Structure formats: structure tokens, C-alpha cells
């Protein structure tokens, strides 16, 4: 029975349109040799280990699992949703060929499969219900089985009755409303990243709406303002996620009496009044932490690299946070790229600074007085995807430290 998959485009700018034109999907890891004659997970593991001998155990396992899924998990007849780098749209295809190792395609692309494109221009918003909660890091992700294949195919091929119902569900008010207040209930671990995914989905729909209005040639306002709104929403989503994640981590640590605590947590203080009320059983430690976070950090933003590092220092050792995040982010491209912590911080600062210019300076272009800086839907979409990958990478680092403590 057919299965449904997501494959993210490799980090090679010229590969996107080329692979679409050549009816191919591909993953990265160009240093890995031909897998055509390797049928077991153990065989693939040995080849990947030889290609990336310096990769740590978790990174290596991620490479192996995704390459094995692409090599052996995916089958002829399966459905693939291809995330594109050059467009807000996704492409949807049926797999028509087995795994192949090629050296005659775009430089840096070796592992491919032949496909038959059903559509190359599917608005991602149409498939948002199927893609919500999708992790941002893996290049290859298994979505589901036959029912999901049927559901996606009917949407893509234009069954208006099903597509209309499902598309409407993606635009319900509760799914679109951005989060603005910290809820009073104690959060479960994992809720924060789910909220981030919902908020980033909202940002994507803003970008999609802007493109649609542009196609309609709406002249009553500047369509690019919708793209700017999506940019601001994406940064706000990261900010809110940071607050929620740190809060959840602090409360979880408060409930683990025997576990070692990071320095930031140990130096975090509650007031004498709160201490007395805890002793009398009037409030819990979680309540006290919650209130102190609001009192002492409620005015801070969790956007700039140094503030994110400082905030997560309450729940983990963040001494080398950005170097560790950079190593995790390198998995995203499938090429074990040597991304530095400095580069990650620089890109985040650029994104946040552009957000501040949009919000506070009319996004003015300093090179052309009286005009605003150019902005495109593809640029905004790349920012949204990168922010999702960044947050998940931070979470991987923090969780790894928590488990090893």
C-alpha cells in the first residue's frame, strides 16, 4: 500500500528548479557513496560512518535513518510532498523509480529517485492540516499511510468537495490566532514547540495570502506589507516559543527534587513572601516560578542570540549553545556543512533587526530615501522555515543536556 513522505529541498540553490525539470527528488550527504547495493540499515550505517567520521553518535544516527528511508523505506507508488526552496508552493509527486546514485546532476547532489510530478505549484496552505506539527530538521519524513495518500491526492488533483472542506479547516480562527499571553495552566513539555509550529503556520498563510492578493493586482494597499506582517509574526513566534519553553523547563526542574540543576536555575530566586506562601502550602513552587518569570523577565524579548542564550541558561548549560545549535542545524541540509555558531547568530540578528526596522522604522531603505526595502514571498518563506529549524535545533541541544545531566 502506498505511503506518504515529505522531502525537503537540499541546500543547493540551483538544484530546486533543475530537479523539478528532470523529474527527480534528491537528498544531500554527497560524501556518502552509492547505496544501491546496500539493503540493510547496518550496511548503510557503515558507509555513512566512513563518510562522516567526525559526526557524533546522534548526528550520525540522523543521517543513517534518513538515507535508509530514502533508499529502502520509500517505494515505487508512494506519494512525496517536496518542499521547495525557490517558492512558497510545494510540489507533489508519485515515486516511479528506485533509489539511484548519480554523478551527472547538480554538483553536490548524488542520491536521487525518479518521480512523476502530479503538481509543482500546490499552495502549502492547502496541505497545512497534513503538515502541521511536521519537524523542521529532517530532510526525509514519513507522513502516513494509504488514507493520507488518498487525502493529499484528492486535494492536489482538484477534488473540490474534499479540498474545500479540508482547506476551510486549516483557516479556522483558533488555528490562525497568534498567541499573545502565557496561559495560567502548567505546560506539558512539548506544548511549546507545537505552539511554535501553529504560529509559523499562521505566518506562512499570511505570506500565501499576500501572494494571492498580488496575483489579483489589488491596488488599494501595498501587498508587500502582508509579507512584512508574516516576517514580524515569525519572529514573534520564536519569542513566544522561547518564553514557553523556558517556563516549562523551569517548572519541570522544580518537580525533580533529585536531579542536578544548572547554575542558572540554582541562582534563580523567589521572594520571601513567595517562600512563606510555599511553606504554608498556599502556592506551589511552580506557581512561584511562574510569577517570578513574569515579574523579572516579562519585559524581555527572546529574539536576539544573547537573550535566548541567557534565557535558556535557566534550564541548561548554555556555555556553547550556539556552536552546538550550529552542529544540529548542519543536519538540516544533509551535507554535514561546517556551519559555525557565529554564522547562526549573525543570521538570527539580521532577521530580528529587519523585524525591528519593519515595526519601528517603516522598513526604510537607507540607500533610497523615501522608499522601503524590497521584500519577496520566497525570502519570507525561507525565514519562516529557518526559524522553525533553529528552534528545533535549540530544543535538541537543551534536551540532550537534560538527558545527560
Q: How far apart are CA 27 and CA 139, in angstroms?
A: 7
Torsion sign over Cα 341, 344, 347, 352: negative
Nearest to 25 by CA among 102, 129, 87, 125: 102
Residue 283 neighbours by CB under 8 Å, 6+ apart? 274, 277
Give pLDDT, residue 159. Answer: 47
- Kindly write down the DSSP assignment for every residue of 301-366, as one continuous string: -S-SHHHHHHHHTTTS--TTHHHHHHHHHGGGGTS-----HHHHHHHHHHHHHHHHHHHHSTTB-T
Domains of the chain: 4-171 (3.10.590), 176-404 (no CATH)
Task: Please return the burial class of 273, using the count of CB atoms within 10 Å of its CB with bins 0-12, 13-18 and 19+.
Answer: exposed
- The tens place of each residue's pLDDT in the chain, 405 residues long, gives 899 999 988 766 567 888 999 999 999 888 899 999 998 999 999 999 999 888 878 888 889 999 999 999 999 999 999 998 767 789 999 999 999 999 988 877 899 999 999 999 898 878 888 887 788 888 999 999 989 999 999 999 874 333 333 333 333 333 333 333 333 344 455 788 889 988 998 998 898 888 888 878 766 668 899 999 999 999 999 999 999 999 889 888 888 877 788 999 988 888 899 889 988 999 888 888 888 888 877 667 889 999 999 999 999 999 899 999 998 887 665 655 678 999 999 999 999 999 999 999 999 998 888 899 999 988 998 899 899 999 999 998 888 776 655
- Residue 219's pLDDT is 63
SS3 state at 202? helix
Question: In this structure, what C-alpha cell is assigned to residue 122?
Answer: 500546490
Q: Rounded to whole angstroms, how far apart are CA atoms 396 and 405?
A: 14
Work out the number of other CB atoms within 10 angstroms of the CB of residue 57.
7
pLDDT at 59: 83
Contact 47, 101 (CB under 8 A): no
Question: Looking at residue 13, what is its pLDDT?
Answer: 58
Q: What is the DSSP track for 99-146?
A: -EE-SSSSTT--EEEEEEEEEEEEEGGGGHHHHTT--SS-SEEEEE-H
- Dist CA 362 CA 372 (whole Å): 7
Amino acid at each position: 500500500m502506498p505511503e506518504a513522505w515529505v522531502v525537503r529541498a537540499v541546500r543547493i540553490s540551483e538544484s530546486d528548479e533543475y530537479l523539478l525539470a528532470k523529474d527527480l527528488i534528491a537528498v544531500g550527504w554527497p560524501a556518502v557513496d552509492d547505496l544501491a547495493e546496500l539493503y540493510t540499515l547496518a550496511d548503510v550505517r557503515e558507509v555513512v560512518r566512513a563518510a562522516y567520521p567526525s559526526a557524533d553518535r546522534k548526528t550520525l544516527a540522523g543521517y543513517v535513518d534518513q538515507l535508509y528511508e530514502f533508499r529502502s523505506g520509500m517505494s515505487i507508488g508512494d506519494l512525496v510532498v517536496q518542499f521547495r526552496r525557490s517558492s512558497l508552493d510545494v510540489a507533489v509527486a508519485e515515486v516511479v523509480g528506485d533509489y539511484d546514485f548519480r554523478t551527472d546532476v547538480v554538483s553536490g547532489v548524488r542520491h536521487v529517485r525518479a518521480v512523476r510530478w502530479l503538481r509543482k505549484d500546490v499552495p502549502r496552505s492547502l496541505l497545512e492540516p497534513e503538515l502541521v506539527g511536521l519537524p523542521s530538521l529532517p530532510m526525509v519524513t514519513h507522513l502516513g499511510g494509504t488514507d493520507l495518500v488518498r487525502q493529499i491526492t484528492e486535494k492536489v488533483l482538484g477534488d473540490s468537495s474534499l479540498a474545500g472542506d479540508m482547506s476551510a479547516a486549516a483557516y479556522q480562527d483558533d488555528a490562525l490566532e497568534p498567541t499573545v499571553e502565557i496561559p495560567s495552566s502548567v505546560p506539558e513539555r512539548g506544548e511549546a514547540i507545537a505552539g511554535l509550529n501553529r504560529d509559523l503556520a499562521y505566518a506562512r498563510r499570511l505570506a500565501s495570502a499576500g501572494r494571492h492578493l498580488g496575483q489579483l493586482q489589488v491596488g488599494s494597499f501595498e501587498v508587500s506589507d502582508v509579507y512584512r506582517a508574516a516576517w514580524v509574526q515569525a519572529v514573534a513566534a520564536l519569542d513566544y516559543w522561547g518564553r514557553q519553553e523556558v517556563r516549562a523547563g523551569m517548572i519541570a526542574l522544580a518537580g525533580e527534587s533529585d536531579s542536578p540543576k544548572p547554575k542558572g536555575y540554582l541562582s534563580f530566586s523567589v521572594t520571601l513572601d513567595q517562600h512563606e506562601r510555599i511553606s504554608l502550602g498556599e502556592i506551589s513552587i511552580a506557581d512561584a516560578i511562574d510569577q517570578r518569570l513574569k515579574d523579572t523577565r516579562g519585559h524581555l524579548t527572546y529574539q536576539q542570540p544573547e537573550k535566548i542564550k541567557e534565557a535558556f541558561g535557566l534550564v541548561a548549560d548554555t556555555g556553547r549553545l550556539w556552536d552546538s545549535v550550529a552542529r544540529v542545524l548542519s543536519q538540516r541540509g544533509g551535507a554535514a556543512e561546517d556551519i559555525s555558531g557565529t554564522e547562526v547568530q549573525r543570521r538570527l540578528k539580521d532577521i530580528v533587526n529587519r523585524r525591528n526596522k519593519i515595526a519601528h522604522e517603516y522598513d526604510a531603505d537607507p540607500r533610497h530615501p523615501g522608499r522601503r526595502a524590497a521584500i519577496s514571498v520566497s525570502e519570507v518563506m525561507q525565514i519562516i522555515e529557518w526559524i522553525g529549524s533553529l528552534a528545533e535545533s535549540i530544543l535538541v541541544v537543551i534536551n540532550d543536556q537534560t538527558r545527560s545531566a
